[in-house]
Amino acid sequence: MLTVFYLLLILTVGRCSDDLNFDIKTVGVGDDVNLTCTRQKSSGLKATLFWVRLVSGKFPELLGGTFVFDYEGVNKTPHITTKQEPGTFLLQIHETKLSDTGLYYCIKINRLEMTFLNATFLRIKGPEPDITAVIQVPPSDPVRPGDSVTLQCSVLSDSENKTCPGEHSVYWFRAGSDESQPSLIYAHGNSGDECERSPQTHSPQKCVYSFSKKVSSSDAGTYYCAVATCGEILFGNGTKLEIEGNCRTF
């Protein structure tokens, strides 16, 4: 039965691809999605409707069918449910995953004649970093051993399109003049106090992280600020900290 069904599907997709247009629906990962397929009472009471999906790299998957107008059967997995509701054959996806991206078809089969009632390309959008820039400002004055120096890192984010819940974390790394590996020197807590939201809602949010240190001559090097968000890490361009010698004479 299923083999015949797949064969029909492939034949029909091949034949009708020109006039098959589909909706594109984009949702965020973890969202719930409903796709609906209208079942008209007048057209073929005996027709069977199926929800089928084609996901890249997989065979077509039969998600569920409804066999009569008032069919009460429900196909249910913890993730996907299909059921007949008044006038519509409903496909529900609970907490979408990235792997749910694909083409979803509602098809009607009436005496071996197959019709596409609805085709939706469902795109699941993963979290994208909302950070637009990581800006480091070098200290303005020359630095001598024993001075206290403040390094500043500004993180601009597009708060409008924030798809990653939670704040970002900020780290400072130092790359010394020798060949040694960059070392982590400081990690900011997650207080959110550093951030100012500008009055215009559509302008970016700016968070300023500063880090102060009393320097000795061995602290010279390039300091990088790095922001971790959405499973990615973004680096600033680095600030070169030059420390004047101890035995400087005027």
Ligand X SMILES: *[C@@H]1O[C@H](CO)[C@@H](O)[C@H](O)[C@H]1NC(C)=O
Q: Is 118 in the site for ligand X (CB under 6 A)?
A: yes
CB of 7 to ligand X, least distance (A): 25
> How many residues are given for the chain?
250
163: DSSP letter: -
Of 7 and 98, nearer to ligand X (C-beta) is 98
CB of 45 to ligand X, least distance (A): 18
CA distance 131 to 234: 8
Q: Is 239 in the site for ligand X (CB under 6 A)?
A: no
Q: Hey, what are 16's tokens?
A: 């009708």
Contacts of residue 184, defined as CB under 8 A and 6 or more positions apart, other chains included, come to 171, 172, 173
Q: Is 156 in the site for ligand X (CB under 6 A)?
A: no
Q: Hey, what are 119's tokens?
A: 């085709």
Of 160 and 244, nearer to ligand X (C-beta) is 160
Short-list 140, 93, 109, 134, CA closest to 242: 140
Q: Is 92 in the site for ligand X (CB under 6 A)?
A: yes
Q: Among 10, 11, 16, 23, which residue interacts with ligand X (rule: CB under 6 A)?
A: 23
Of 158 and 167, nearer to ligand X (C-beta) is 158
Of residues 37 through 76, those in contact with ligand X by CB under 6 A are: 37-38
Q: Is 82 in the site for ligand X (CB under 6 A)?
A: no
Q: Is 107 in the site for ligand X (CB under 6 A)?
A: no
CA distance 101 to 110: 28
Among 31-39, 66-74, 140-148, 193-201, which window interacts with ligand X (CB under 6 A)?
A: 31-39
Number of residues that bind ligand X (CB under 6 A): 18
Q: Hey, what are 79's tokens?
A: 């993730």
Q: Among 66, 84, 120, 239, which residue interacts with ligand X (rule: CB under 6 A)?
A: 120
Among 10-18, 63-71, 115-123, 224-232, which window interacts with ligand X (CB under 6 A)?
A: 115-123
Whether 60 contacts 50, CB under 8 Å: no
Three-state secondary structure along 53-107? EECCCCCCEEEEEECCCCCCCEEECCCEEEEEECCEEEEEECCCCHHHCEEEEEE
Short-list 33, 154, 31, 160, CA closest to 93: 33
CB of 91 to ligand X, least distance (A): 8
Binding site for ligand X (CB under 6 A): 23, 25, 32, 34-38, 92, 117-118, 120, 133, 135, 158, 160-161, 237
